[in-house]
Amino acid sequence: MLPVVAERDESAALVIRTDFGDEEGWQAALVELWKPWELAGEEVVPHLHVVDDPAWAGAAVDDVIAALSGGGGRGVVYLADRLTMVGPDRALLAVAVLAREGCGSDEEFARYGGAFRTVPAGIGDIHANLSIANMDFADFANAARADPTGAFRSF
């Protein structure tokens, strides 16, 4: 059973490390995750909650969804998995915390569920737009699919 993610600011993007085999790769991913981005000419520091707990090692997507879906929200968790550690872009797996059985239809799951890769710099766009319901999870997943490397990069 995966641990509870305690004492977290619910407005922060949740990043969970699931691969513990490459410390150098993890440190490089953290550098990318914490890089400030620009909004309207001002520097913005990423608002993240990073879980670096070996209890999450090797956690499967379905197990992560089950562990986090108790809150009832339609959030997104970003997994720093093996591909994050070895990939040149340090792309994380963005996963909708929505179980298929919690959806009213396959269309609803397709719009709000699933997973896609995102570069660390994309998390701010995803998190902000989903938070204000400006865009749907599917909008970002489609952008990732359209990218030659299969990762969301930003609009």
Least confident span in 24-28, 61-65, 149-153: 61-65
DSSP conformation letters of 8-57: --TTSEEEEE---S-HHHHHHHHHHHT--EEETTEEE---EEEE--GGGT
Q: Mean pLDDT for the chain?
A: 88
The DSSP symbol for 101 reads G
141: nearest Cα among 111, 121, 120: 111
Q: What is the dihedral of CA 99, 153, 36, 76, to 10 degrees?
A: 0
Domains of the chain, CATH where assigned? 13-144 (3.40.50.800)
**Both tokens assigned to 44:** 């913005």
The pTM of this model reads: 0.89
* pLDDT for res 69: 72
pLDDT in tens, 100-138: 556 666 676 666 668 999 999 999 999 989 889 889 888
Q: What is the dihedral of CA 82, 33, 14, 155, to 10 degrees?
A: -100
pLDDT in tens, 43-53: 989 999 999 99
Q: What is the dihedral of CA 128, 104, 150, 154, to 10 degrees?
A: -20
* pLDDT for res 72: 46
